[in-house]
Chain A
Amino acid sequence: MGAFRLTTEPIEPFRLESELENTVTGALVTFAGRVRNRNEGRDVLHLFYEGANEIASTEFEHIETEARSRFEIEDIRCAHRIGKLELGEIAVWIGVSARHRGAAFDGCRYLIDELKQRLPIWKKEHYADGDSGWINHS
């Protein structure tokens, strides 16, 4: 299995973290992106995420290759949830292990920033007033 997965199941950080356990890396940096209750002044009830699995996996491989060439990273895991998500649930999780903390922090930051710009994943917000809309990061 590659470093990346799209999943309809709740993301389990400890399980993903356990895949990064080893004795050579002194640093593990993780990032969890959660569903928040307000966006641009509107009350959000829940979210729906849709993803293009094959394209996202291929594009993540490119991002991973870039991150490994820039930073001294040991290993990476990333999961992005799709389907309906409730407030507070984890939408995306990234873990980066490295020998030293600098590479782990930098690598994690690079992965989440590139992921948000590039992976074919779309978020639809459902609001308290009954309206809904697709969100555009660009």
Chain B
Amino acid sequence: MQDQPGAIVTVTWHAMLREKTGRAQEEVSTRAATPAELFLELAARYEFSIPADSIRFAVNGEIVSSKDGLQNGDRVSFLPPVSGG
């Protein structure tokens, strides 16, 4: 079976997630296939208490489905529940 190569993506953290991680941005090497998988991976690392199903995902500046594919070099944002206006 062919080993699937990992991707390096740039993750931007916002609001309560930025405070929890203590950083605004980081490069992450991952084998996650989707933004949702990547979030679960990082949520475990940082011990987030926020429910994963409350998070929306943006890739390269656009809100996407949790099941969209991740590519090497993607810019990924995890968007916790919003409160603008």
Contact = CB atoms under 8 A, between A and B. Distances in A.
Q: A and B: real partners? A: yes
Interface of A: 33, 49-52, 54-55, 58-59, 80, 91-92, 112, 115-124, 134-138
Chain B, interface SS category: mixed
Nearest to B75: A54
Contacts of B10: none
Interface residues of B, number: 19
Given A55-B61, A58-B62, A59-B63, A134 B16 contact: yes
B69 interface: no
**Considering residues B56, B62, B83, which has the most beta carbons from chain A within 10 angstroms of its beta carbon?**
B83
Contact of A121 (B16, B56, B83): B83
Contacts of A135: 83
A66 to B, nearest CB: 14
B12 interface: yes
